[in-house]
Amino acid sequence: MKDLIDFIFLAILYVLLFFKKWKSEGKDILFINTLMYIYLAFVFYFTLMPIITSLPFIFNHPYSPMNLIPFIDISLQRGDFMQQIGLNVIMTIPFGILFPLTKKGNEKFLKTVLYCFLLSLTIELLQPLINGFRSSDITDLITNVSGGILGYLLYLLFKPLITKVLSFIKG
């Protein structure tokens, strides 16, 4: 139920701030940006939500600093480290595919990597603040950016097909 409040907020934000602007730029822009918006909403769902109902309590628990030892869970054989690594890579593959489609210019790779890094860093720093049971880890940051890079490579591989689909949507 708490997550529903966040989704309602995101839906209102989409309708009031983004939909009209993106629609005026064309069906293809509306499609790609809406897809990116939905993707980011689900990333927030799996990594940060509930956010709004947690805000009054963000200072009611200790903040755990980020683990800065890369891949320590593997060396210590803690938990389901391989599953976590795989999920972190998979989570940001769509970012690497969708983000370049939202940008113009020739520096798409560097921008994609930079924004994937910033998205991941923001999530990692906010997780323990919003929820005292969550922690942040440099390994997550590394694997998320790796997923973004892999997604970008898939974007390059499927760019001709993506271009045809967007041309069809554009009309």
pLDDT digits (tens, 9 = 90+) for 36-62: 999 999 999 999 999 999 999 888 888
The predicted model gives 93-98 an average pLDDT of 98
Q: Return phi, psi of residue 111, to 5°.
A: -65, -40
Q: Letter for the amino acid at 119?
A: L
What pLDDT was estimated at residue 68? 93
Q: Return phi, psi of residue 162, to 5°.
A: -60, -40
pTM for the full predicted model = 0.93
Q: With cut-offs at 50, 70 and 90, classify the pLDDT of residue 65.
A: confident
Angle, CA of 133, 55 and 34, to the nearest 5°: 95
What pLDDT was estimated at residue 48? 94
What pLDDT was estimated at residue 6? 96
What pLDDT was estimated at residue 103? 86
The alpha-helical segments, DSSP class H, found in 103-137 are 108-130
CA separation for the pair 64, 141 (Å, rounded)? 16
Q: pLDDT exceeding 90 applies to what percent of the chain?
A: 77
Burial 5-33 (b: 16+ CB within 10 A, else e): ebeeebeeebeeeeeeebeeeeebbbbbb
Cα dihedral 127, 133, 136, 137 in deg (nearest 10): -150
CA separation for the pair 95, 147 (Å, rounded)? 8
Radius of gyration of the chain (CA): 18
Q: pLDDT exceeding 70 applies to what percent of the chain?
A: 100
Longest dimension (CA), the chain: 55
What pLDDT was estimated at residue 134? 84
pLDDT digits (tens, 9 = 90+) for 106-135: 789 999 999 999 999 999 999 998 888 888
105 pLDDT exceeds 80?
A: no
Query: What mean pLDDT value characterizes the chain?
Result: 93
78 pLDDT exceeds 90?
A: no
What pLDDT was estimated at residue 26? 94
CA separation for the pair 93, 97 (Å, rounded)? 7
